[in-house]
Amino acid sequence: MSGVATPLLLSLKVALWATFFATVFGVAIAYWLSRKQSTWFDLIDSILTLPMVLPPTVIGYYLLVLFGRRGWLGPFLADFGIELVFTWQGAVVAATVVAFPMVLKAARAAFQTVDRQYQDAGRVMGISELGLFFRVTLPLASRGILAGVLLAFARALGEFGATLMIAGNIPGRTQTLSIAIYEAVQAGNDSMANTLVMITSITCVTVLWVSSHLLQAEDRRRKRGEISA
């Protein structure tokens, strides 16, 4: 089983970090984009959504151009001791880039459905714009955002192409579940592939089940308030 646990734990670690970064950046940029309507913003939105439609190998190539040893940012980051090629941190970057549009799309749509009147009501009551974001806008958009975050996690967990290109396939260090499955199949190790596929499937189902359970618990909490009325 140890051959299974290592890639599983690595995948979870990479996917969780990627989801975290994708959520922070996705929500922040979506909020910024939702504040004003402009064709320029739609263009920015389109560019930021590109990772959703580009082949993962193209994304991986871009990442290498950016972060490779002789890339645009690679030498600069190396000065700070940050090495992204052939490291699990590189896998996080790859997974973040492909998962990010999921959060961005969902959050932008969610922010746009929040009625402006609630923000105006808060403004008149003297609440700062930052306070309004955390107290009104974010809570009212949270369900839509959460849906995007879950998709982002699933997408990050399944990331393959871009990860392979930037982080490589180093067992124990950068070999995530999906890469381990590919290698097991290539090596004709069917039992290993079977186990890994089962584990991936069960993990994904569990994550989705737990999250939908959390949403329902939230519903029940609100309804209980109704009964006590």
Partner 1 sequence: MSIHVSIQHLLSAGGREFKLDMHFSSEARRIALFGPSGAGKTLTLKAIAGLLRPDAGRVTVGERVLFDSAQDIFLKPQQRRLAYLFQEYALFPHLTVGQNIGFGLSTGLFNTRRTSVLPEEAMYWVTTFELAPLLGNYPHQLSGGQRQRVALARALATKPDILLLDEPFSALQASLRRKLREELAELQSRLTVPTVLITHDPQDVRLLADTVFELEDGRVIAQQVGPTFSPEHPA
Interacting residue ranges for partner 1, rule: CB under 8 A: 115, 117-118, 120-128, 130-131, 134-136, 139-140, 222, 225-226, 228-229
- According to the 3-state scheme, what is the secondary structure of 141-195? HHHHHHHHHHHHHHHHHHCCHHHHHHHCCCCCCCCCHHHHHHHHHHCCCHHHHHH
Nearer residue to partner 1 within complex by CB, 5 or 121: 121
CB 109 to partner 1: min, Å: 18
CB 127 to partner 1: min, Å: 7
Residues in the chain: 229
Number of H-type helices and E-type strands within the chain: 11, 0
Nearer residue to partner 1 within complex by CB, 128 or 216: 128
Rounded to whole angstroms, the Cα distance separating 196 from 222 reads 39
- As a whole number of Å, the CA-based R_g of the chain is 20
CB 222 to partner 1: min, Å: 6
Burial class (CB in 10 A: 0-12, 13-18, 19+), 129: exposed
Give the count of beta carbons closer than 10 Å to the beta carbon of residue 90. Answer: 25
Nearer residue to partner 1 within complex by CB, 130 or 217: 130
Nearer residue to partner 1 within complex by CB, 97 or 132: 132
Nearer residue to partner 1 within complex by CB, 142 or 169: 142
Q: E-strand spans in the chain?
A: none
CB 35 to partner 1: min, Å: 15
CB 144 to partner 1: min, Å: 13
Rounded to whole angstroms, the Cα distance separating 105 from 149 reads 10
CB 134 to partner 1: min, Å: 5
Nearer residue to partner 1 within complex by CB, 135 or 173: 135
